[in-house]
Structure 1
Amino acid sequence: MKQSIIKNGLLLGGFALACTAAVALVNDATKDRIAEQQRLELSRILHQIVPDDIHDNDLSASCILVTEPDALGSIDPMPVYLGTKGGKPVALAIETIAPDGYNGNIRLIVGVDTKGEVLGIRTLSHQETPGLGDKIELRKDDWVLGFNGKRFEASNPAPWRVKKDGGEFDQFTGATITPRAYLNAISRTLTLVEKQKADWFKRPLGCHPEKAADADALATDASDTDASNTDGND
């Protein structure tokens, strides 16, 4: 009996090891293809939310990383895609996260021009309830198109709420948590954009974590220097 148990255990262990190896091989074989599909999908979305006729640079290549957990809903660096025309800043697209969705994180991307007008918003990933919260997907509903052309002012964020909370945007029938989380994320993100967009366009390009850390350090040093100079003048 004991030998039979050992034999079966070894067989099961070998089978599990073989399955793990097979999955690893499949992942390794497809990771480049998946990465390319993700890149193409991102490029497609960027073309949608920052129209080609307002910028003349390669938006997907003109990227920096910023780390702002309170505003962007993540401790990880988040990409910002900078649009310019004739070398002058015109618009940007920034990825952000609503951490308080009904079923967890909602990742979205916000396109906005340098005057604060929203050009477009798209949902990148979510786990919201099918038939209710998934209306944040453009292929399910046109709700996200309601942000187009709206102007955001950090001094007056009140309109950027669902109507149930006194704002101007519709919630979903039977689902208020999802659009509320979505709008909260947009409001926090656009407040950050209004404060920091000028500095972002001065940063060296590159979506690499180490560059983001270096840029944040430089920005902090510059702020400290400015503060010291101000104190000295007073």
Structure 2
Amino acid sequence: MTSTPREYTAPGMALRTAAILFIFVIAFTALLSAVYQWTRPTIEASALAEKMKLLNEVLPASDYDNALLTDTLSLPPTAELGLTEASTLYRARKGGQPAALIFEAVAPDGYAGRIRLLIAIRADGSVAGVRVTQHKETPGLGDYIEPKKDKNKANPWITQFNGLALATTPAKEWRVRKDGGRIEYHAGATVTPRAVARAVHQAVLWADIRRDQLFAEGSTQ
């Protein structure tokens, strides 16, 4: 009795199909890798540009002349700043002299949770700028802490901290007006600005104690 061709050709077809699929996967993976390598410089350059844009929002580029992205310190989790993970501190200098420190802080007690901040503090102890980088505050009520969502484009709420310093601003004034301080707030949304004001004040206190050490540590200047 003679076997049919199907009994001999089916395994061969399966092997050929598997081989084709294997070659396709290899080729597709190689193509993806090539595309990634080709676009990687552009992606990295874009990421660096975005980072510099944010840093320059809290500290004008004219206020420093060093390579900000390389003059850094790695900070461990820092309870005083509300940080439960490591972060990066940037040191701005001008003419070789300390100009400002830029670092992250977190207000843990926002209305809807944690509010992440980027803060720049000048060498003289004054606040150069503050920006909210992440939050989940109620849209239309507490999200005015973010400049792009603040209806006051001329003087966004977050710019109230610019220029404040421990030497010229008593501790009680680092609060919203409802609590006897100087920080304005929107009616019906006190929790959010109160949390930010408290976090900024704490960050200024933290930097004031460590300023000289932070500028000197690991410095090649």
Q: Per the shorter chain, which TM-score range?
A: 0.7 to 0.9
Moved over 4 A (4+): 32-38
Provide structure 1 residue ranges, at least 5 long, that are not aligned to the other structure: 1-24, 206-234
Match for 2:188 among 157, 174, 191? 174
| Alpha-carbon separation, structure 2, partners of 1:68 and 1:88 | 27
Rg (Cα) greater in structure? 2
Counterpart residue identity of residue 194, structure 1: D
| Alpha-carbon separation, structure 2, partners of 1:172 and 1:54 | 32
Match for 1:44 among 50, 53, 56? 53
Instruction: Report whether the alignment pairs 1:128 with 2:137.
Output: yes
Match for 1:70 among 79, 82, 98? 79
Instruction: Report whether the alignment pairs 1:92 with 2:101.
Output: yes
41-50 vs 90-99, which moves further: 41-50
Counterpart residue identity of residue 175, structure 1: A
- Identify the structure with the greater helix proportion: 1
The 3 A distance-change label for structure 1 pair 139 and 197 is same
Secondary structure class of the residue paired with 1:64: strand
Number of paired residues?
177
| Alpha-carbon separation, structure 1, partners of 2:180 and 2:93 | 36
| Alpha-carbon separation, structure 1, partners of 2:70 and 2:133 | 19
The 3 A distance-change label for structure 1 pair 159 and 68 is farther
Percent identity for Structure 1 against Structure 2: 36
| Alpha-carbon separation, structure 2, partners of 1:34 and 1:129 | 32
Secondary structure class of the residue paired with 1:61: coil
Kindly indicate whether the alpha-carbon contact (under 8 Å) linking 1:46 and 1:60 is maintained by their aligned counterparts in 2.
no
Secondary structure class of the residue paired with 1:116: coil
| Alpha-carbon separation, structure 2, partners of 1:63 and 1:84 | 11
Match for 2:170 among 151, 156, 162? 156
Aligned to 1:220: none
Aligned to 1:139: 148
Scaled by the length of structure 2, the TM-score of the pair is 0.72
Aligned to 2:18: none
Kindly indicate whether the alpha-carbon contact (under 8 Å) linking 1:153 and 1:191 is maintained by their aligned counterparts in 2.
no
Aligned to 1:197: 211
